[in-house]
A = this chain, B = another copy of it.
Amino acid sequence: MLRVYLCLSDIDQRGDRVMAKVVGILGSPRRYGDTQLLLRLALRAAEHDGCQTELIWLYEEEIKPCLGCVSEDVKACRFPCIFEDYGKLILQKIREAEGIILASPIYWYNVSGPMKNLLDRLTCLENMAHIEGYSYLEGKVAAAIAVGKDTGAMMAISSMLLSLNSMGAILPAWAMAYSQAADVLKDEEALMDAVNVGLLVSGLIRRLAGQEGRIMYLYDPKLCRQLLREVLLERKKD
């Protein structure tokens, strides 16, 4: 049996460029904190590259923890999960997107609890491999962001990226941005990395769809400042 790649087949196109959808998942209790800033910057970069984006805030409502149905009956776990909760809504949005950017604060060298709950709930997308023959996350492009004052960024990123890759997501080069600085606005490397997370997720989606698309890091401080300005302005309006 040969699985067919459908992921980008029915995407709207704008001229010769794919109009892909990228969802950003914010796993921080702070709706407008530093984690959100880097995530919003990444999404803004993806928009700049022509994508539609949406930011989902995990703390908006409760996400019930995964019950691990799959461990009793491999066919019991299927999209869209048994729970009728906020998590279901998010799973639906992830299902429909071509790109996913997970962003978490660093809590004890790892992601936050709600982000972990979401990762566990993603099982119902991945487990469709046992039901329909392919993971619903297969072929999506993913990246991760982690922000905290202590160390642990790479463990949090590892938790997010390895899970997503094991579920079928493709990771662009430099699929991560993180900051452990006191003030993220002064962490120029993190800001530039966040911009690249957006550009490279968008660029790889395009490439996979047979279009032109960036797959290498762009060091462009001017663009970074411009996108940051837009993000900060947008925040004020919220």
Q: Which residues of A contact B (CB under 8 A)?
A: 1-5, 28-30, 33, 59, 62-63, 65-68, 71, 105, 107-114, 116-117, 119-120, 122-123, 129, 133-135, 138-139, 149, 151-155, 157-159, 161-163, 165-166, 168-176, 178, 180, 204, 207-208, 210, 214-220
- Identify the closest chain B residue to A122 (Cβ): B108
Assess whether B168 is in contact with A174, with CB atoms less than 8 Å apart.
yes
Question: Once the chains are docked, how many angstroms separate the CA of A20 from the CA of B217?
Answer: 22
Assess whether A217 is in contact with B174, with CB atoms less than 8 Å apart.
no
Which residues does chain B contribute within 8 Å of A176, judged by CB atoms? 162, 165-166
Assess whether B109 is in contact with A154, with CB atoms less than 8 Å apart.
yes
B119, B129, B207: the one contacting A217 at CB < 8 Å is: B129
If A68-B29, A116-B116, A171-B165 touch, whether A139 touches B216 (CB-CB below 8 Å) is yes
Question: Once the chains are docked, how many angstroms separate the CA of A114 from the CA of B111?
Answer: 12
B66, B163, B208, B219: the one contacting A215 at CB < 8 Å is: B208
Can you sample 7 A-B contacts with CB below 8 Å? A1-B219, A65-B114, A68-B105, A133-B219, A158-B162, A170-B215, A180-B180
Can you add 13 more A-B contacts, CB < 8 Å, to A1-B220, A5-B215?
Answer: A29-B66, A68-B105, A68-B112, A109-B162, A112-B120, A138-B217, A151-B178, A155-B159, A161-B165, A170-B204, A171-B171, A180-B180, A210-B210
